[in-house]
Structure 1
Amino acid sequence: APTRHGTVTLFTALDYLQARLISFIERQHRHQERLEYLKKINRETPKQLQLHLIVDNYATHKHPKVKAWIEKHKRFQMHFTPTSSSWMNMVERFFRDITVYLRDGSFSSVRELESSITTFLALRKAQRTRYVWNAKGEEILNKIQRAREAMASLA
């Protein structure tokens, strides 16, 4: 069996209008790293912009210290996707691409994995291509309706 050398967390925000990513690699995924990442987004985006963060329901997004930081930084608005609805978040297309890129790799250390992620981020930055939904509006709305029905059946 392959030896596991550790993991990293890749935080990524998609600036759709500029076709750019704001990424942050950390060895842990706690509220402290989430706060550092929010501060990075805050530094790297023009102050006059309102920022809409579409996030899943991971616990670090709802930690009291993260909520307090968001409350103090009014330009940040959090939008939570329903459980099992990651397809609604455009940045998931990026995560699909990086997963495909990394899948063939066998990494002998966490540092090597981080280096490969950094290489992919540089390649992606050079491309500056925008992720777009190819589905027709009606298809997307039908999928949303099915997701709502599935969620209602769980309640």
Structure 2
Amino acid sequence: MICVDEFGPLSLQPYRGKGWFQQRKPSRLRATYTRPHGVKHLLAAFDLKTDKLYGHASKTKKHQDILRFFDVLRRRFPRTERLYIILDNFSPHHHHKVKTWAS
């Protein structure tokens, strides 16, 4: 039994380090910053039997990405073992290609 969920967009923000010395006029980070490489989405699956977490980073969260992640999960387990995948009601899960793959 595998629980699957998506998280994102992950937006890594830069932050300044701290030192023991006192700064007179600390430099500030802008509230908005450029994202030259875009953002990432995390597709994750938790295997309840082995207590393992599998993750896959993606640029989008479309049904094609979900199917690609399912193929990665399928390769991790033997074909003789049946997978029970628990999904939430996220709209790409309702796509006919995802339902066909699941059946």
TM-score by length of 2: 0.62
Structure 1: 5+ residue runs without aligned partners?
Answer: 72-155
Partner of 1:3: 33
Structure 2: 5+ residue runs without aligned partners?
Answer: 1-30
Q: Equivalent pairs: percent with the same residue?
A: 30
Give CA deviations for 1:82-134 in whole Å, capped at 9, x if unaligned. xxxxxxxxxxxxxxxxxxxxxxxxxxxxxxxxxxxxxxxxxxxxxxxxxxxxx
Partner of 1:65: 97
**CA 1:4/1:49 → structure 2, altered by over 3 Å: closer, same or farther?**
farther
- Alpha-carbon distance in 2 for matches of 1:70, 1:4: 39
Alignment of 1:15-30 (within 5 A): 15-30=47-62
Higher-Rg member (1/2):
2
Partner of 2:6: none
Structure number with the higher strand fraction is 2
Partner of 1:43: 75
State the one-letter code of the partner of 1:13. A
Greater shift, 4-13 or 37-46, is seen at 4-13
- Alpha-carbon distance in 1 for matches of 2:34, 2:61: 18
State the one-letter code of the partner of 1:38. F
Give every structure 1 segment of 4 or more consecutive aligned residues whose post-TM-superposition deviation is greater than 6 Å.
none
Alignment of 1:64-83 (within 5 A): 64-71=96-103
- Alpha-carbon distance in 1 for matches of 2:96, 2:79: 24
